[in-house]
Amino acid sequence: MGRAGLLLFVVGSITACIPSTPDAVRRYQAWQQSAGAQGLSGYERTLADAGVGDVVPMHALLRSSRRWQACEAPEFLLPPPDRAAAIVPTLRLVAQLQAMGIVEGGNVRSGYRSADVNRCSGGSSRSRHLLNNALDFDLADDTRVAALCAFWRTRGPSLAMGLGFYTPTRIHIDTAGHRTWGTDHRRGTSLCVGTAGQSVTRTSRTRTP
C-alpha cells in the first residue's frame, strides 16, 4: 500500500470510529430513559385528553431553548404538573396555523423553560415560557409573515394571541392576550404593525413563487 493509500486508510478508520451526532429525535429518545422524563406519560395524557396531543411532536414541544447548549441546560424540559394544561390553548391556536400552512409543529424551538434556562436565554422575568403558555417557532421562510399577521389581526383577538418577532422568521406565539411586538419588545417594531407590516405585505406580494 502506498503512502497516500495508507493515509486514506488511517483517516477512514478514525472517521469510522467517531459516532455520528444523533439528531433531535434520537436525542429525545435517549432523554426518555433519563430521570428528567419522569412524568412524561402524565403530560402526554393531559394533552391527549384535551385533543391536542398530536399538534406538535413531543420532541419539539419539550425543547427548552434555542440556547440550551450554550446555557449548559437540558435540551428537553417537562413543565411542572400544575402547569401542564397551560399549553393547551396555545396548541389549539397552533393547530389552526398549521392547517393554513403557516407554521410547522416540528419547527418549535422553545417551549417550557425553567427560571434558570429562561434567564440564560435572555427571556423576560414575566415570560410566558415560564408558565408553559408559549412556543417559539422557526418559519420556513418570510413569505409566511403576511398570512401570520392577517391571522393575528382577524382571529387573534378571540384567541388572546400574542405574537412576537425576533426576526422575520423567528417568532413567539402565546395565548396570554392579543398583542404583538418586534425586536425591541415594542408594538411599533412588530412586522404586523404600521410601515413594517405594510413592507412585509408588499414584499410577499411581489416575491417570485
Q: What is the pLDDT of residues 115-171, one digit of tens each?
A: 999 999 999 999 999 999 999 999 999 999 999 999 999 999 999 999 999 999 999
Closest CA to 148 of 199, 106, 189, 200: 200
Residue 196 has pLDDT above 90, yes or no: no
E runs forming strands in 17-112? 108-110
- CA distances to 142, 146, 166, 180 from 203, rounded to whole Å, are 9, 9, 19, 20
Residue 4, class by beta-carbon neighbours within 10 Å (0-12 exposed, 13-18 middle, 19+ buried)? exposed
**Strand, helix or coil for residue 88:** helix
Is the model's pLDDT at 194 over the cut of 60?
Answer: yes
**CB 136: neighbour CB atoms within 10 A?**
23
* Angle (nearest 5°) at CA 40 between 92 and 114: 80
Q: Which residue has the higher pLDDT, 3 or 57?
A: 57
pTM of the model: 0.83
Q: Which residue has the higher pLDDT, 202 or 72?
A: 72
Split at pLDDT 50, 70, 90, the class of 62 is very high
Distance from C-alpha of 58 to C-alpha of 55, rounded to nearest angstrom: 9
